[in-house]
Amino acid sequence: MDPKRMEQGIRTFLDGIGEGFAGDDRERTPERVARAWIEDLVSGYAVDPAAELTWTPAPERFAGPVVVRGISFASVCVHHLLPFFGHAAVAYVPGRRLAGLSKVGRVVDAWARRLQTQEHLTAEVVRTLAEGLEARAVVAVLEAEHTCMTVRGVRKEHSRMLTVSAAGAAETDPELRRELLELASGRRGDPAT
Which CATH number goes with the domain that contains 167? 3.30.1130.10
**Confidence band for 192, pLDDT divided at 50, 70 and 90:** very low
Number of other residues whose CB lies within 10 A of the CB of residue 68: 19
Using alpha carbons, select from 136, 123, 132, 167 the residue that is nearest to residue 51: 132
Question: pLDDT (tens digit, 9 = 90+) per residue, 6-39?
Answer: 999 999 999 999 887 766 788 899 999 999 999 9
Flag whether 143 is in a domain: yes
Specify whether 66 is located in the same domain as 153: yes
Helix (H, G, I), strand (E, B) or coil at 55: strand
Specify whether 73 is located in the same domain as 25: no
> Where is average pLDDT lowest: 62-66, 119-123, 147-151?
62-66
Specify whether 90 is located in the same domain as 15: no
Question: Quick one: how far is CA 82 from the chain centroid?
Answer: 15
Task: Say what the pTM is.
Answer: 0.91
Specify whether 11 is located in the same domain as 79: no
Flag whether 193 is in a domain: no
Specify whether 90 is located in the same domain as 178: yes
> Where is average pLDDT lowest: 53-57, 95-99, 152-156?
152-156
Specify whether 36 is located in the same domain as 70: no
Specify whether 136 is located in the same domain as 121: yes
φ and ψ of 66, to 5 deg: -115, 130
Question: Distance (Å, rounded) from C-alpha 120 to C-alpha 20?
Answer: 38
3-state helix, strand, coil in the chain (%, to 5): 45, 25, 30
Flag whether 190 is in a domain: no
Flag whether 192 is in a domain: no
Number of domains in the chain: 2
Find the domain containing 32 and state its range: 3-41
Flag whether 96 is in a domain: yes
In this structure, are residues 79 and 116 in contact, taking their beta carbons and an 8 Å threshold? Answer: no
